Structures are given as structure tokens and as C-alpha cells.
Amino acid sequence: MANINLSFEEMWEKIIACDRKYDGLFFTAVKTTRIYCRPSCRSKKPKKINVEFYFDLDKVEKAGFRACKRCQPHTDLSPYIRLVQNVVTFLVNHYKEKLVLQDIADHIGISSFYLDRIFKQETAETPRTYLEKIRVDK
């Protein structure tokens, strides 16, 4: 999976908002506790200076961090989590381009109907509304 193009500040905002759409795209590692979490973890938020972000599960574990027992970032919660993560990564990396649902579906390798249905089932919004939110955030 390609790295998502988010700044430290943007990732910080996502963990403060407990945004579950970014789960699996990056991990929040806390230097003082040596624990890493999903962006959506509801545990007490760490001090900003104690946070590092990782895009790969293996790298965060090799760096000596252990998984949070509350959000269990090392387990997949849904069979579609990878699909949603790939869509979100694509949208974040291509938000400046004129995109239609078929462009996203072609990149992911599934039909546009299936993409729209699964994305809405997992995130409660369509890829189009999600893309609009990314554009507003940027």
C-alpha cells in the first residue's frame, strides 16, 4: 500500500477527531508509553510532542511499540478494511484532480457500483462526499 500524503498536523487532527476512516492507513505511536494505536482509538490522547506516525504495521512494531489493548490496531475489523483504505489513500493523494466514481473504481480494480456500495456500508458516506470533505480540509 502506498503512503498517504498527509502532514503531521493533518494526522494529528485525525487522531483528535478519532476518525475511523484513517484506521490502517497510519498508526499513532506514543514514545512515552511505547504503545501504538489506530487513529480512531478512544483512549486518552497523548501530548503532541510524544507522538510519532507510522504508515506500516511492521515498522511500528520493529521500532519497539506494542499494540494498544483497547483499539487492537494489529487486527482487521472488517473484511473490506483494505478496500476502504485503498480508496481513502487514492482520494487523499488525488484530491486535486477531477475524479469520477469510475476513475476510483478502475484504480481499485472493482466495479463502480460495488465500490460505492461497500464504501458507503463501511464509512456511512459515498466516495464523492468523502472526496469533498478532503477538499474542504485541504
Q: Is 44 exposed, middle or buried (0-12, 13-18, 19+ CB in 10 A)?
A: exposed
C-alpha cell, 53: 506516525
Q: How far is residue 120's CA from residue 32's CA, in Å, rounded to a whole number? A: 37
Exactly one of 18, 37, 41, 71 is catalytic; name it: 37
68 is catalytic: no
In the chain, alpha helices (H): 8-16, 57-62, 81-93, 101-108, 112-123, 127-137
Q: How far is residue 131's CA from residue 135's CA, in Å, rounded to a whole number? A: 6
8 Å CB contact between 15 and 45: yes
Q: Which residues are catalytic?
A: 37
